[in-house]
């Protein structure tokens, strides 16, 4: 196995990544922390906020997602697209709380031209005018739509792979893996940063996890942002009965992502609400340098703001404006 020494590489093999993932935990975390310090300020954790700007009714059949129209037993209120003024006002409130990156998600299969997309462009422009990073997740999009998002000042586009190509068909059947890769290529071609990661705890194997990281780590350049999510089971979805993962599995995934994508922002995302303070800190030590800040991630619970205040106090508040929190 070639050394995971902080060098930016795009030639990772799946077997190499499996070996890294399965290192003794203290060795893995130690290596990841050393690499993290080479490329990032270890005392900076970016805060991001995630808002569902259009909720429910999505035609995709993602097995984990309560917003899918296929999962009729889910108790979820469908909401129309929010108006730009309200969204920008919420972004301003988030900024006042120390948030640097404002993420907006719409439960769409793909972007459609018209009044609603124009409204999203206004949201992006409004968030950027506040001096914040702006990220959206809107499903698949066409080149001219990516071009308009770039012109509006969009910082990043979130479009997760979710899992490995091998396991993908057991989670989603309404969109192919290649559809996702094509969307990422379209976004990249217009100079927009990629926010792309996945979810663990859906029944996949360790090799599936490594395979997903392999896809990301072979991109040139690597995605600027890599959210690592743990499944949050929701009643009414096909994965509702999946057991919660051991928190150390999330630590391992964060550390492995850090080793194979040294310069990327690794975002500790969904599932953080199920971690105690110490497990969250261990994820930060292992290379996570962004967290979502706020009580809700789209439609699932997140760590509360009060809990986060205690977390940041415990780690030294790392220069208030520099301890911040994040996709998707």
Tokens read off for 167? 């396991």
Q: Would residue 65 show up in a list of annotated catalytic residues for this protein? A: yes
d(CA 172, CA 83): 30
Catalytic option among 135, 148, 209, 252: 135
Contact 138, 106 (CB under 8 A): yes
Phi, psi of 71 (to 5 degrees): -100, 80
Catalytic option among 65, 148, 209, 252: 65
Q: Would residue 196 show up in a list of annotated catalytic residues for this protein? A: no
At how many degrees (to 10) do helices 115-129 and 143-151 cross? 30
Catalytic option among 31, 58, 196, 209: 58
Beta pairing partners, 135: 103, 156
Q: Would residue 135 show up in a list of annotated catalytic residues for this protein? A: yes
Q: Would residue 267 show up in a list of annotated catalytic residues for this protein? A: yes
d(CA 159, CA 214): 16
Q: Would residue 320 show up in a list of annotated catalytic residues for this protein? A: no
Catalytic option among 101, 148, 195, 258: 195
d(CA 252, CA 117): 38
d(CA 69, CA 56): 7
Residues belonging to the active site = 58, 62, 65, 103, 135, 195, 267
């Amino acid at each position: 196995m070639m050394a995971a020494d902080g060098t930016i590489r795009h030639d990772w093999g799946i077997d190499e990544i499996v070996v890294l993932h399965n290192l003794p935990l203290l060795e893995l975390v130690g290596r990841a922390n050393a690499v993290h310090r080479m490329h990032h300020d270890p005392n900076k954790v970016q805060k991001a906020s995630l808002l569902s700007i259009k909720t429910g009714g999505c035609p995709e059949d993602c097995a984990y997602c309560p917003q899918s129209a296929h999962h009729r037993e889910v108790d979820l209120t469908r909401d129309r697209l929010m108006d730009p003024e309200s969204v920008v006002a919420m972004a301003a409130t988030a900024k006042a709380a120390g948030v640097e990156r404002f993420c907006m998600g719409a439960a769409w299969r793909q972007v459609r031209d018209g009044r609603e997309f124009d409204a999203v462009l206004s949201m992006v422009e409004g968030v950027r005018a506040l001096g914040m990073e702006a990220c959206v997740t809107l499903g698949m999009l066409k080149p001219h739509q990516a071009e308009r998002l770039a012109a509006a000042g969009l910082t990043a586009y979130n479009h997760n792979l979710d899992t490995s190509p091998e396991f993908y068909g057991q989670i989603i059947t309404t969109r192919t893996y290649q559809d996702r890769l094509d969307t990422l290529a379209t976004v990249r071609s217009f100079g927009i940063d990629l926010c792309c990661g996945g979810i663990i705890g859906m029944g996949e194997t360790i090799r599936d996890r490594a395979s997903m990281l392999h896809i990301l780590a072979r991109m040139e350049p690597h995605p600027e942002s890599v959210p690592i999510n743990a499944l949050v089971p929701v009643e009414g979805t096909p994965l509702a009965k999946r057991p919660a993962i051991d928190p150390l599995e999330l630590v391992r995934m964060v550390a492995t992502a850090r080793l194979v994508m040294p310069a990327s922002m690794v975002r500790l995302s969904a599932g953080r609400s199920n971690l105690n303070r110490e497990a969250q800190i261990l994820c930060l030590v292992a290379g996570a340098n962004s967290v979502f800040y706020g009580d809700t991630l789209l439609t699932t619970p997140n760590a509360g703001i009060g809990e986060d205040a205690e977390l940041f106090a415990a780690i030294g508040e790392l220069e208030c404006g520099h301890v911040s929190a994040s996709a998707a």
